[in-house]
Structure 1
Amino acid sequence: MTTDDLVIRLARDAGPVRRGAVGRRLGLGIAAGAVVSAMLLILWLGPRDDLGTAVQRASYWIKWGYTLSLSAAALALTVQLARPDSDRLRGLWLTAIPVVLLAVVGLLELANTPRSDWMAMWLGRTWMACPWLVLLFAIPIFGGLLWSFRRLAPTRLRAAGAAAGFTAGAFAASVYCLHCPEVSAIFVLTWYSLGILLATLLGSVLGPRLLRW
């Protein structure tokens, strides 16, 4: 039996795939992982004490807007890479928009802050822990995405793993916002992004091993 014959036999009885099925499958995995991450955060670290007051400030929504917009852009890439026909990625440039916008906000903050306070604004109180906590909370979400990929057919395994790690890291950063007391844009741009990058790198390493089918 030739490869073409095998493909024809496998596809003969296959019904049409519903529109948006890949996105729904990935969304289910992300949601399940995010619930686990949120429970871990609440039970271990707890939400920030002033969360009710924080959500009334623009700085909180700028931070959350950054992580959620990165999450949306990363998910769009993951949906494409979950398919076998992912030779050309569309919309990769969209991931740069949240970064550029937050960088502009950060520069405006620095311009309105005395130079002597710049280092404190950049490091905050939790810079050493922040990236690693984002990575930690990304693990359950990454696991949910691996479950989703079991019913999908990625062919670019390293890229798909990196996209899954990127998505998991961005959603984990959104969960971490519930606890993190830091508000400066330059802090978020540096240390949140580093945590997301660590999750992306981890995904790229694990992708070829865990997404093989």
Structure 2
Amino acid sequence: MNTDDLILKLSQDSRPMRPERPSARLAMGVACGAAMSAVLVILWLGPRADLAAAVHHASYWLKWGYTLSLSAAALAVTVQLARPDTGRLHGLWLPIIPVILLTCVGLIELLRTPPADWLSMWLGQSWLACPALVLLFSLPIFVGLLWSFRRLAPTRLRAAGAAAGLTAGASAASVYCLHCPEVSALFVLTWYTLGIALATLLGMLLGPRLLRW
């Protein structure tokens, strides 16, 4: 059998492969990692004692609205960076919107609060632990995203790592809301965002090493 006949034979036996959908695969990685983080939060820290009552207050949903919208915006950027044919990126400004909106809420909160209470409102009772816990709970989600990237082919590794870290951090903050008793928008804006920023920095540093293919 000559080379041309061999190629023809192989092509006849081949089956078309389903195209990989980065959005579905990355969402699966986030979901699996978030489920693991939720188990850690519930078994280690436990849900907040007044969770059943807290869900009836706007402050609880404000936190979730912030973290979930930031996670969704970051995932949209991550999906673009997961493809090898990334040209001009779109929607890089999307993660900024939740931050701006929560900043506005925080300013309104300050105007309605006596200056003597500003410090306690800003620090709450868990400001030291909050960023570290968000970073810690982001690790399973980041691992889930790394699993997703194994079937993808990013070329901007540092940027893809940062976007994955941002997605993991915001998703971890959403999970942490199950435990966190803080209600101040200023607290969430500062300490949640710090933990998310640390996860983003970690992803940016690890991206070139872990996402290489």
- Provide the residue aligned with 1:17 in structure 2: 19
Q: Sequence identity, in percent?
A: 73
What amino acid maps onto 2:149 in structure 1? F
- Provide the residue aligned with 1:7 in structure 2: none
CA distances 1:132-175 after superposition (whole Å, capped 9, x unpaired): 00000000000000000000000000000000000000000000
- Measure the CA separation in 2 of the matches of 1:210 and 1:37: 21
What amino acid maps onto 2:50 in structure 1? D
Could you tell me how far 1:13 is from its partner in structure 2? 7.4
- Measure the CA separation in 2 of the matches of 1:89 and 1:136: 29
Could you tell me how far 1:87 is from its partner in structure 2? 3.2
- Measure the CA separation in 2 of the matches of 1:185 and 1:87: 37
SS at match of 1:183: coil
- Provide the residue aligned with 1:199 in structure 2: 199
- Provide the residue aligned with 2:153 in structure 1: 153
Could you tell me how far 1:14 is from its partner in structure 2? 6.0
What amino acid maps onto 1:195 in structure 2? G
For 1:113-152, list aligned pairs within 5 A.
113-152=113-152
After TM superposition, what 4+ stretches of structure 1 lie above 2 angstroms from structure 2? Answer: 12-16
- Measure the CA separation in 2 of the matches of 1:163 and 1:115: 37
- Provide the residue aligned with 1:81 in structure 2: 81
What amino acid maps onto 2:29 in structure 1? G
1:41 aligns with 2:37: no
- Measure the CA separation in 1 of the matches of 2:15 and 2:89: 30
Gaps of 5+ in 2: 1-13
Could you tell me how far 1:70 is from its partner in structure 2? 0.1
- Provide the residue aligned with 2:111 in structure 1: 111
SS at match of 1:180: coil
- Provide the residue aligned with 2:6 in structure 1: none
What amino acid maps onto 2:47 in structure 1? P
What amino acid maps onto 2:163 in structure 1? A
For 1:183-198, list aligned pairs within 5 A.
183-198=183-198
* Equivalenced residues, count: 200
- Provide the residue aligned with 2:171 in structure 1: 171
What amino acid maps onto 1:17 in structure 2? P
Could you tell me how far 1:127 is from its partner in structure 2? 0.3
- Measure the CA separation in 1 of the matches of 2:192 and 2:76: 20
Q: Note closer, same or farther for the CA distance 1:13–1:88 as it changes in structure 2 (3 Å cut).
A: farther
- Provide the residue aligned with 1:50 in structure 2: 50
- Provide the residue aligned with 1:70 in structure 2: 70
Gaps of 5+ in 1: 1-11
> TM-score, normalised on structure 1?
0.91
> TM-score, normalised on structure 2?
0.91
- Measure the CA separation in 2 of the matches of 1:121 and 1:181: 12
Q: Which moved more, 1:27-36 or 1:168-177?
A: 27-36
- Measure the CA separation in 1 of the matches of 2:195 and 2:64: 15
Could you tell me how far 1:16 is from its partner in structure 2? 5.5
SS at match of 1:94: coil
- Measure the CA separation in 1 of the matches of 2:63 and 2:34: 18
Could you tell me how far 1:55 is from its partner in structure 2? 0.5
What amino acid maps onto 1:206 in structure 2? L
Could you tell me how far 1:15 is from its partner in structure 2? 3.9
Q: Which moved more, 1:89-98 or 1:119-128?
A: 89-98
